């Protein structure tokens, strides 16, 4: 058995321990150590599991799926679509804010830090949790997708009444991991400027999510950002 001491919230640690102890994860760790010796990797090591740490397993209510961390300096901090407060709001997140403004009549935020969502139980999960600086997709197909698929399957299995946002074809490819008899799956085009006008704008996913959570006796998400 490989020695494992992941910096991850205890509920997630328990549900994903099988993954941490598996051969593919050992290979992934070896790959990352080798990458870090030679290259700049994002996000910082302490932030790799930030999505899990800010949204503990037993508190997850909504899952938003991304694909890859941001690859520019200072952008990635472990939450999909999110950036630290001092970093300019990326285009896809800007479009998410426009849809929230249209859907919920909430003001458009001035920064792109989504930690307040995560702390309400929104799992902001990228399929790949690390990336080389300035090389998008550089850590795909190294094992992260197997790990994050297991995380999606775990929340689907052990919870009831969650909302999954699947934006774009890549996120939609994860639909088979979700038990749609127990959860609400909301699908739309990706919020990227290249596709947002093909069905993301006007999808009203944020109000639909809150209506569903309320119907399940759960607290609604405050989608506003201070």
What tokens appear for 187 in the block? Answer: 């699908």
pLDDT > 70? residue 1? no
Which whole number is the average pLDDT over 179-187? Answer: 98
CA dihedral 75, 208, 172, 178 (to 10 degrees): 110
Any catalytic annotation for residue 149? no
pTM: 0.96
DSSP per residue, 135-174: BTTTTTTSSHHHHHHHHHHHHHHH-SS-EEEEEHHHHHTT
User: Span 199-207, mean pLDDT?
Assistant: 98
pLDDT confidence bin for 3, thresholds 50/70/90? very low
Beta strands at 163-167 and 184-188: parallel, antiparallel or unpaired: parallel
β-bridge pairing 122-126 and 184-188: unpaired
- Between strands 62-66 and 131-132, the pairing is unpaired
For 108-138, the pLDDT digits (tens) are 999 999 999 999 999 999 999 999 999 999 9
Please report which confidence band the pLDDT of residue 42 belongs to, taking 50, 70 and 90 as the band edges: very high
Report how far Cα 122 is from the mean position of its chain's Cα atoms: 8
Q: Which of 68, 103, 105, 149 is catalytic?
A: 68
Kindly report, residue by residue over 86-97, the tens digit of the pLDDT: 999 999 999 999
Q: Which residues contact 134 (CB under 8 A, 6 or more apart)?
A: 71, 72
């Amino acid at each position: 058995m490989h020695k494992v001491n992941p910096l991850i919230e205890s509920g997630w640690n328990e549900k994903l321990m099988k993954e941490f102890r598996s051969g593919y994860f050992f290979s992934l760790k070896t790959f990352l150590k080798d990458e870090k010796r030679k290259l700049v990797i994002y996000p910082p090591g302490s932030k790799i599991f930030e999505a899990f740490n800010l949204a503990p397993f037993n508190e997850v209510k909504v899952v938003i799926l991304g694909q890859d961390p941001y690859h520019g300096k200072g952008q990635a901090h472990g939450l999909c679509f999110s950036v630290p407060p001092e970093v300019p709001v990326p285009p896809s997140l800007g479009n998410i804010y426009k849809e929230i403004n249209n859907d919920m009549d909430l003001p458009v935020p001035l920064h792109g830090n989504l930690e307040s969502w995560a702390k309400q139980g929104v799992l902001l999960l990228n399929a790949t949790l690390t990336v080389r600086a300035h090389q998008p997709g550089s850590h795909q197909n190294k094992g992260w997708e197997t790990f994050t698929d297991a995380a999606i399957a775990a929340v689907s299995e052990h919870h009831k009444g969650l909302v999954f946002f699947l934006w774009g074809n890549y996120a939609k490819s994860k639909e088979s991991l979700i038990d749609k008899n127990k959860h609400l799956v909301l699908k739309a085009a990706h919020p990227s400027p290249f596709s947002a006008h093909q069905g993301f704008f006007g999808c009203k996913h944020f109000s639909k999510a809150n209506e569903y959570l309320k119907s399940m006796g759960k607290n609604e998400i405050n989608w506003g950002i201070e």
